[in-house]
Amino acid sequence: MKIKYELISQDKKARRGLLHTNHGTVETPMFMPVGTLANVKMLTPEEIKEVGSGVILSNTYHLWLRPDEDVVAKAGGLHKFMNYDGPILTDSGGFQVFSLAKNKKKDITEEGVHFKSHIDGKSLFLTPELSMEIQNKLDSDIAMSFDECIPYPATYEYTKESTERTLRWAKRGKDSFNNPNQSLFGIVQGGAYPKLRKYSAEKTVEMDFDGYSIGGTSVGEDKKTMYEMVDNAIKYLPEDKPRYLMGVGEPEDLLEGVERGVDMFDCVLPTRLARHANAFTPYGKINLKNAKYKEDFTPISDTCDCYTCKHYTKAYLRHLFVAKEGLGGRLLSIHNIRFLIKMTEDMRNAISEGNFIEYKEQFLEKYKN
């Protein structure tokens, strides 16, 4: 079965909905924790569910290299391999080619991208067809089209050329796609050029995907440009399909994205911050290694309902981080992911109640990053 998006309520452009998948129905707007290598770092599936996750994301590029898609397929697909029965989305590998290729060198041809492995420098060649084949084998619920993530800034000419190639790649991927239980999203590129975003969105929508991602907005634009690009993509996207803003996870960006009609977000931010002792709080981020928490026997946040805040103090977490004990990163990952997911729950309620903007303003008034 393909996924289905069901609109529940709307507050101006902000929308609340349901995403029906083969692994359950989940609510949008949603924040998707990232499980790069078939696990959300340090966490079990039970913990991922306990924090209220809807869909989780896993990375095609990483799983292609380790353990490789055939091992995952022989295990019965990614869900069985990693023991997770909720919905999983896989990206296409396009972003990792851009961000992780050894020395960031890559050779983009019409056929695909030649680059070297970030692990051992081995030559690799990823094409739209191969990305689909890998994702089909991984058997995620939602697969992504293979795209080029355009660097920022880029000239109009380069951006146009790349955007058109990404459209051709999207078509090739869709044509070769071969898993009836898996949905496929198109990705809107177009860099920082409104005209190209429009062009990319319209041409991608013409191909009729199961959902639409907005790509290339998290790689270096200023925030204002990013939000404009989101506006310039979303207005050309159909109402009955989910919209996914890729790689975005700062609280303020979730708010801005939802306000513009985004349904799905993903980011490594909460787990990466956690490994460096940085915690989200309603008053902004704090670093738990700070000496002022040495004897602070209160939770990270009084209002947080996560396992970590219910059971552990800042003093204990600080101790774990100072002593380099891995449990610290684990407990803080739970909190940070829960923080973003709780935000999406609050946003959904605000949308239903028609006061999304009030919620956003109240949140931002407290939250100074």
CB of residue 139 vs its own copies: minimum separation in angstroms?
A: 15
How far apart (Å, rounded) are the C-alpha atoms in residues 39 and 299? 26
Q: Does 71 bind its own copies (CB under 8 A)?
A: yes
Nearer to its own copies, 97 or 331 (CB): 331
User: According to CB under 8 A, which one of 207, 286, 327, 357 is a site residue for its own copies?
Assistant: 327
Q: Which one among 1, 6, 25, 66 touches its own copies, defined by CB under 8 A?
A: 66
CB of 69 closer than 8 Å to CB of 122: no
Q: Which positions from 228 through 287 interact with its own copies, judged by CB under 8 A?
A: none
Among 19, 32, 42, 55, binds its own copies (CB under 8 A): 42
At a CB cut-off of 8 Å and minimum separation 6, what does 2 contact?
A: 183, 210
Q: What count of other Cβ atoms lies within 10 Å of the Cβ of residue 100?
A: 18
**From candidates 13, 27, 37, 179, binder to its own copies by CB under 8 A:** 37
Per-residue contact string for residues 276-315; x = within reach of its own copies by CB under 8 A:
------------------xx-x-------------xxx-x
Q: Are strands 14-21 and 183-188 parallel, antiparallel or unpaired?
A: unpaired
Interface with its own copies by CB under 8 A: which range of 18-26, 76-84, 181-189, 210-218?
76-84
91 is catalytic: yes
Residue 209 as a binder of its own copies (CB under 8 A): the answer is: no
State the nearest-atom distance from the C-beta of 159 to its own copies, in Å: 34
How far, in Å, CA of 45 to CA of 188, rounded? 31
Supply 48's token pair: 């991922």
Work out which of 319, 345, 352, 364 binds its own copies, going by CB under 8 A: 319
- Estimate the share of the chain in helix, then strand, then coil, as percent rounded to the nearest 5: 45, 20, 35
Residue from 10, 20, 23, 39 in contact with its own copies (CB under 8 A): 39
Q: Which amino acid is at 256?
A: E
Number of other residues whose CB lies within 10 A of the CB of residue 307: 15
Catalytic residue among 11, 91, 139, 141: 91
Q: State yes or no: residue 219 binds its own copies (CB under 8 A).
A: no
Q: Which of 94, 112, 91, 116 is nearest to 104 (CA)?
A: 116
Q: Is 139 a catalytic residue?
A: no
Question: Which burial class, exposed, middle or buried, applies to 73 when counting CB atoms under 10 A from its CB (0-12, 13-18, 19+)?
Answer: middle
4 in contact with its own copies (CB under 8 A): no
In degrees rounded to 5, what are phi and psi of residue 186? -90, 155
What is the full DSSP assignment across 112-129?
-EEEE-TTT--EEEE-HH
Q: Which stretch binds its own copies (CB under 8 A): 50-58, 79-87, 171-179, 276-284?
A: 79-87
Peptide bond just before 33 cis, omega within 30 deg: no
Site for its own copies in 331-350 (CB under 8 A): 331
- Give min distance, CB of 75 to its own copies, in A: 6
Name beta bridge partners: 144: 185
Closest contact distance (angstroms) between CB of 180 and its own copies is 24
Which of 74, 104, 195, 366 contacts its own copies by CB under 8 A? 74
Residues contacting residue 175 through CB under 8 Å, at least 6 positions apart: none
**Contact call for residue 326 and its own copies (CB under 8 A):** yes
Q: Which is nearer to its own copies, 74 or 104 (CB)?
A: 74
Q: Which helix (H) or strand (E) holds 183?
A: strand 183-188
Using the rule CB under 8 A, which residue among 209, 316, 359, 363 binds its own copies?
A: 316
- Whether 276 and 269 have beta carbons less than 8 Å apart is answered as no
Residue numbers of the site for its own copies (CB under 8 A)?
37-39, 41-45, 62, 66-67, 71, 74-76, 81-83, 294-295, 297, 311-313, 315-316, 318-320, 322-323, 325-327, 329-331
Q: Which residues are the active-site residues?
A: 91, 266
